[in-house]
Amino acid sequence: MKDVIVVIGAGQIGQALARRVSAGKRVLLADMRLGNANAAAEVLGNAGYEVSVATVDASSRDAVHALVKTAAGLGNVTGLIHAAGVSPTQASPATILKVDLYGTALVLEEFGNIIARGGAGVVIASQSGHRLPPLTVEQNKALATTPVESLLDLPFLQSDQVTDSLHAYQISKRGNSLRVMAEAVRWGKRGARLNTISPGIIITPLAKDELTGPRGAGYRRMIEGCPAGRAGTPDEVATVGALLMGPDGGFITGSDFLMDGGVTAAYWYGGLAEVPAQPSE
């Protein structure tokens, strides 16, 4: 059986990363919507990749466990690309916490049980997690290590504490990077590695919608005011992902890679200090 790369989230970033790391391997492409998975699978298939598709609700343990069983049935799971999630413009605070925070912890737990020796995973988080004010040491540890099924019961995640979607998104993405640190220890016992990428504004269909929507002015100012002076592309995220999942990244695990064109630097120490944090997609 071939090695298997599991991609959760059939968007542009997930596809770009899959193209970089899946040559000669089997790709299992999973998305909440089968139509999205099929469309991405057709593109990858036409480019010479061997692709299977599945549907998955990343916030459902039964659904994620079923995906794990499907993946394991195809071969040795040597790669996980978790690129699914919802943004502040798409969902309520409760939904964002359930999908982006709980769902990511769930995926890492389930796939951490079967990841093959020498395997690697990448979670796509966001620059937004880097613009959340510092949490306490206790809150950091809670986000990193609380058992998955108790995660959403944490006092500082309740509706009276997280009252808007942007805050929910920021704390979810901060939580992703913290969870990856803790899970990297567990994955390491299986001889596997795990890291996070926190992209800035990456040009995808959703980002284009955001640029012309009610938050568009903030997006454009972030792009214009950052040191790079432009948005990023999915292929640039995939370049970092390929490093983290490949042999050249063999000494990198439990790390978070911020790649936002310097937006966060300008937010804290430059001319973007008053611009609210925005999601990457």
Q: How far apart are CA 73 and CA 194, in angstroms?
A: 22
| Contact yes or no for 243/193 (Cβ under 8 A) | no
Active-site residue, selected from the candidate residues 49, 169, 219, 267: 169
Alpha-helix residue ranges (DSSP H) falling in the chain: 12-21, 34-46, 61-74, 93-96, 103-112, 137-145, 165-188, 205-211, 216-225, 234-245, 263-269
φ, ψ (nearest 5 deg) of residue 89: -80, -10
Residue 22 carries which side chain, given as an amino acid letter? S
Name 243's Cβ contacts closer than 8 Å, sequence gap at least 6. 249, 252
The reply to whether 169 belongs to the active site is yes
The catalytic position among 49, 98, 102, 173 is 173
Task: Report the catalytic residues.
Answer: 169, 173
